[in-house]
Amino acid sequence: MIAQAAIGFSLLLLLLAVITGGSNQKYPNVPTLRVKTKEEDIQLYLKDVMELLRVGYQKYSKQGRNYLLDLPKGKYFVASHHYLDEIMRAPPSHVNAPDAQSIMTQTAYTISAPVANDQWHMNVPVRKNLMLALTPSLEIIVAEARAYLDEQIGQPESTSVLASDFAFDIVVRTANRVLFGKQLARDPRWKRVCVEYSEVMFAGANKIRFYPNFLKRIALWFTSDIRTVHKLAEECTFPVISERLEKEQSFRQQGRDDTWEQTKPSDAIQWVIDAAPQSEKTPNAILDRLLHITTATVHTTSFTFLDILHCLSLTKEYTEELRTEITEVFRAEGGWSKQGLTHMAKVDSYVTEVTRWCPMSGLKLARLALKDWTMKDGTLVPKGTIIFLNEKAIYDDEEIFDSPKTFNPWRMYQRRQKEGEAQKHQWVMASPTHLHFGYSKHACPGRFFASNEIKVLIALLIMRYDVSAIGIPGGLAQVAQGYWGDNNRVPIMGVKLELKDRVSDIPTDIRQHFI
């Protein structure tokens, strides 16, 4: 009866959405992409957007022309790559990235309206402090990752793990140790929140995006587990946040401000508390900011690492070359160091190729027109238009990448060997042809932290184990395809990894750094 009631309520919401779904939104005067019929194209958008984007890229984008893409409700304006710099340099009063992202993730409903309206926590708290923490956090990442491998895998002759569980568990644990402190990092409830809230948030956003605003929160409550997961987040974070707020107040009331500044914790919880306006120094408001941080960092990094695991398990012919580079770096550096990770050029190239091969989305660089805006070619972009660029089709363009349908892990390494290119083509360097982290001033502020974390995990994994895949009959093509829904790609699930211990094969002079 409960299931039937839920289905009936969902149908009622859908009917209300259709009845009230009219829109007065105007769109640029450019062609609308048509591959089949309008209805069939909308279904393609929901189930296999890449078929649409491949046609749109060849027919319009590559020719320097913009076009519109039909959605279940409304349209997206897909700009040609030729206009990338113009869009990125547009005044934020006219074209805005955070507002577009809030619409895509429906932040006002999946988290809160204050977070959607002002993402101050992504500036000083994340962008600045996470950069400052890169060197001291490296030791923590290594220790936490080694502890996870020791506890969960150990050194058996051979064992198998579910790749998705392994990827999420080790990424969440290592990232959380740096971002949220030891207490939350070791709390299984917070780990569950980090995994499930991201899933609920992105899936929920896709469900409610085309509903009228007044129905969105109701629809989200009745069609997802967001209230359950949020309650769990409150249970494990409120005591930590409250203790921090009370300690700060106590120190300041005693006139011991300097002592507090010298002894307070250094993690994202404290960074957010320090930057919060007085009106938001409450457990509820701080938690909302922390949830936004974890969905922006842990979620994407976990999916990226899962794709890397799949690719590593299918391209074992490259593993020994990666191990050789890691060994050379450790002998030169004498241990783990930020500089050493930077010197892992082949590891970096491998990761960059995986994210080219397996992008997280088809469209990228969302921008919202806050007012009518005229582009240099005369195209009028009306207020309310959401602007995108076609990411995946760029990666498949033979004029940009040689043999783009071939997985070449040394692609960027080879480019860096050319004169004057040694410091270019790195995974963290956003460019017009590498959009994994976005581009321009709104590029992901946590990309340097993510790069360090990913490289540490790869080095520990392949030095300690031989990795094979069980359950990817389609090989790299199946990994690249993943599962598409709306504009987003999710890695394949259900793959088992076979891990065979090889600790005895690690050169004795560097073995202590990996076990």
| Alpha carbon distance 313, 481 (integer Å) | 16
| Alpha carbon distance 434, 177 (integer Å) | 29
Q: Is 444 annotated as a binding-site member?
A: yes
Return the residue matching tokens 């309310």: 384
Strand partners, 75: 70
Q: Which two tokens stand for residue 330?
A: 């450790």
Q: How many CA atoms lie within 13 A of 505 on its CB side?
A: 13
* Burial call 482-508: b when 16+ CB within 10 Å, e when fewer: bebebbbbbbbeebbbebebeeeebee
Contacts of 358 (CB under 8 A, 6+ apart): 307, 311, 479, 480, 482, 489, 491
Phi then psi for residue 367, to 5 deg, are -135, 145
CB 208 within 8 A of CB 216: yes
CB 363 within 8 A of CB 53: yes
Strand partners, 484: 489
CA dihedral 216, 222, 224, 229 (to 10 degrees): 100
| Alpha carbon distance 37, 130 (integer Å) | 48
User: Interhelix angle for 283-314 vs 163-179, to 10°?
Assistant: 140
CA 293 distance to own-chain centroid:
11
Q: Which two tokens stand for residue 423?
A: 């410091």
| Alpha carbon distance 136, 338 (integer Å) | 9
Count Cβ atoms below 10 Å from residue 261 Cβ, excluding itself. Answer: 11
Q: Which two tokens stand for residue 512?
A: 């202590």
Return the residue matching tokens 């783009």: 404
Q: Which two tokens stand for residue 142?
A: 């290594």
Q: Which two tokens stand for residue 381?
A: 């972009």
Contacts of 103 (CB under 8 A, 6+ apart): 209, 366, 368, 386
Binding-site residues, in ranges, read 444
Residue numbers belonging to the annotated binding site for heme: 444
